[in-house]
Amino acid sequence: MTAQQRLSLGLPDARRLLARHHGRQGSLATVIQRLGTIQFDPLAPLGTNPDLVLQSRVPGYRQGDWQDAAYRRRLLVDGWDKQASLIPPDQWWAQAPFHHWFARRWQQRGVDIDSPEARNLLDQVTQQGPSTSLELGDQRSDPALRGSWYGPKRSRHLLKALWDSGRLMTHHRVGGRHAYDLPERVLPNGACTVERDEDDALEHLIVRRVQAAGLLRPAADAAVWLLPCQRTERDRIASRALDQGKLVALDVAGECHWATPEAVSCLDDAGSFNDSDQGMRFLAPLDPLMWDRRGISRVFGFDYVWEVYKPRKQRRWGYYVLPVLWQDRFVARFDAQCREGTLTILAWHWEDDIVSSRLPDGMAEALQQAARRFLDYLGADRVVLPRGLGRQARYAWQSALK
């Protein structure tokens, strides 16, 4: 069989591969390297998206630990992948295609990162050190920019362009606001800042996208495959990665998926998994497992929609809904928020095949363990439960507090 030929995989094996790939527990550093990229989103009713991604994989993780990992330990840096993301600093070299792509896009909008104004901002950062947009450039508003996504200050648009193009990086955050600094002062010693071959960088971005997801359809939505190149170019680079064995083509019930060899090895390496890896976990809305929602619907029969930007009256499930994975199946989803040590579950929705009055063997115990870990992660000592949970699930949550 050649590298380009597809291995066949049934839906049960695909579910098992994904459950094992995403269920493996490890240290913060291990999980960061395994995923390669974590999408950033600032909404935080239960912690930010990086928090939720990491709490489901890192035993003992506490809300906000990613900020220490990123801004003190430099295990992560702010960059761009599927969207704004956190990536390992030793992979910064592969950001170059994004940097070139963004520089062209900003130029088309009339923002020149090589202008005297841009050079003045870079000089200011060089002299001042890490600084936010409130401390850099002209603070006056430009009437032509009112209503813009980045606000009415031209200097803020230029700072964003310099960040997008890699001229500036995030040293740390101040209340969510980027404190900008020069890359050579943010990246740890030894991290590569020299540009390499563009094909190599694109290949790294493609393989990393697949690595994070576990299984990813080439035909997934454009938002899943956002890259600084056309899809035909992506396919050319992916074909090279397939020939080199960096990616594996899988036929999953008649549809092509890509995976890494490491993810495929999860099917055979059963001895490396334990009960904690296969328990119940509450996933982030933007967890890498959930990126290709159409693919997840086909493999798991779980239709997930993130309704956070829908008007309230149009929501079926809730504002910030977390999928619940038990072993290799999705069993529920819930909408919740945590404030001042109180976790309020606003709604809990069991999947249609789950009878709340008679949970499958082992599920209540798994829920209790997952609930205890989640409360510890949030630092919550009180929980408010909704109707519809069922007696066993309600008892599991109540017991998790004890």
Domains annotated for the chain, with CATH where assigned, are 1-277 (no CATH), 305-400 (3.40.630)
Query: How do residues 126-147 score in pLDDT, each as one tens digit?
Result: 999 999 999 998 767 665 566 5
The whole-number average pLDDT for the span 8-31 is 96
Q: What crossing angle do the helices spanning 96-108 and 198-213 adopt, rounded to 10°? A: 100
Structure confidence at residue 176 (pLDDT): 86
* Model confidence band, residue 74 (pLDDT cutoffs 50, 70, 90): very high
Q: What percent of the chain has pLDDT over 90?
A: 87
Structure confidence at residue 276 (pLDDT): 47
Which has more pLDDT, 324 or 151? 324
The two structure tokens encoding residue 73: 């330990």
Q: Which residues contact 310 (CB under 8 A, 6 or more apart)?
A: none
Structure confidence at residue 212 (pLDDT): 98
* Model confidence band, residue 311 (pLDDT cutoffs 50, 70, 90): very high
Q: Which residues contact 83 (CB under 8 A, 6 or more apart)?
A: 39, 40, 41, 226
The two structure tokens encoding residue 191: 């991290």
Q: Are 313 and 355 in contact (CB under 8 A)?
A: no
- Separation CA 163–CA 183 (nearest Å): 10
DSSP string, 204-262: HHHHHHHHHHSSB-TTS-TTTT--SS-HHHHHHHHHHHHHTTSSEEEEETTEEEEE-HH
Asked whether residue 228 carries a pLDDT value surpassing 80, the answer given is: yes
* Model confidence band, residue 369 (pLDDT cutoffs 50, 70, 90): very high
Whose structure tokens read 């295990």? 75
Which has more pLDDT, 196 or 286? 286
β-strands 7-9, 248-252 pairing: parallel
- Separation CA 293–CA 337 (nearest Å): 23
Greatest alpha-carbon span in the chain = 69
- Provide the 8-state DSSP code for 47: B
DSSP string, 132-195: -TTSSS---B-GGGTT-TT-SBHHHHHHHHHHHTTSSEEEEEETTEEEEE-HHHHSPTT---S-
- The four Cα atoms 270, 11, 51, 63 give a dihedral, to 10 degrees, of -60
The whole-number average pLDDT for the span 238-250 is 97
Q: Which residues contact 74 (CB under 8 A, 6 or more apart)?
A: 89, 186, 187, 188
Query: How do residues 142-170 score in pLDDT, each as one tens digit?
Result: 655 665 666 667 889 999 999 999 999 99
The two structure tokens encoding residue 349: 């929705």
| C-beta neighbour count of 228 within 10 angstroms | 21
Structure confidence at residue 196 (pLDDT): 82
- Separation CA 353–CA 369 (nearest Å): 22
- Mean pLDDT, the chain, integer: 93
Query: How do residues 33-62 score in pLDDT, each as one tens digit?
Result: 999 999 999 999 999 999 999 999 999 999
Whose structure tokens read 């600093």? 89
Q: What crossing angle do the helices spanning 363-378 and 391-400 adopt, rounded to 10°? A: 40
Q: Are 51 and 44 in contact (CB under 8 A)?
A: yes
Asked whether residue 1 carries a pLDDT value surpassing 50, the answer given is: no
Q: For residue 321, which amino acid is it? A: V
Asked whether residue 23 carries a pLDDT value surpassing 60, the answer given is: yes
